[in-house]
């Protein structure tokens, strides 16, 4: 059963990533802008004192300008940082992204080692990237399980952030997959 789920995930991941590669860059930029505007209107965004962001990879929603806006408005901002000792991600506090963020373990921007860790219980909201989502809170990641392990320890609001092209009818889910509380796209914010 678990191997069938893994095969279904692999095929869905392949299909969605192929579809994202052919999207015009200007559409991705416009959709990211719409998502940021929609997110900034949500009560869960407005009331979250501390937010775990993500550094977008090519093809992912660009939430980076919201990190700057959060800092300006007095929110605590964090980014995932790979911890080689635990082979997992933790939340690194970021106060000045220009000076405190650089390429990390997998080439993804993350807080430098001098940035202190923020305990996950201090965070009220986590913005979660993914390859695909369904409207029941299912999420398909990149296949290594790093985010699911981080999300399993997090008890605040989990908001999946995606383009409409990343929304599917059903994401195959295994026992370790963590569901989202909200799914946000350029056209809607769905409460799960």
- The predicted structure's pLDDT at residue 106: 82
Residue 168 belongs to domain spanning: 2-191
Is residue 1 predicted with pLDDT exceeding 80? no
Q: Please, which residues have CB within 8 angstroms of residue 85's CB and are 6 or more apart in sequence? A: none
Q: Of 6-10, 140-144, 156-160, which gets the smallest average pLDDT? A: 140-144
pTM value surpassing 0.85: yes
Dump pLDDT digits (tens) for 132-153: 999 999 999 988 888 899 999 9
**Which CATH number is 110's domain given?**
3.40.50.10420
Identify whether the C-beta of residue 166 lies closer than 8 Å to the C-beta of residue 130: yes
C-beta of residue 26 within 8 angstroms of C-beta of residue 34: no
pLDDT at 3 (0 to 100): 85
Cβ-in-10-Å burial (0-12, 13-18, 19+) of 85 comes to exposed
Of 134-138, 175-179, 181-185, the one with minimum mean pLDDT is 175-179
């Amino acid at each position: 059963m678990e191997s069938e789920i893994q095969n279904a995930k692999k095929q869905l991941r392949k299909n969605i990533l192929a579809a994202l590669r052919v999207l015009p860059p200007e559409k991705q930029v416009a959709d990211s802008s719409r998502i940021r505007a929609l997110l900034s209107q949500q009560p869960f965004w407005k009331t979250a004192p501390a937010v775990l962001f993500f550094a977008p990879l090519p093809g992912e929603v660009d939430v980076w300008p919201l990190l700057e806006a959060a800092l300006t408005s007095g929110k605590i901002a964090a980014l995932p940082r790979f911890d080689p000792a635990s082979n997992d991600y933790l939340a690194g506090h970021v106060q000045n992204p220009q000076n405190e963020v650089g390429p990390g373990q997998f080439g993804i921007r993350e807080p430098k080692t001098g940035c202190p860790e923020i305990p996950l219980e201090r965070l009220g909201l986590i913005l979660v990237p993914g390859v695909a989502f369904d409207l029941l809170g299912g999420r398909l990641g990149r296949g290594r399980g790093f985010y699911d392990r981080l999300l399993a320890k997090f008890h605040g609001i989990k908001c999946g952030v995606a383009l409409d092209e990343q929304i599917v009818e059903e994401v195959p889910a295994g026992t370790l997959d963590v569901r989202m509380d909200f799914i946000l796209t350029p056209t809607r914010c769905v409460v799960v």
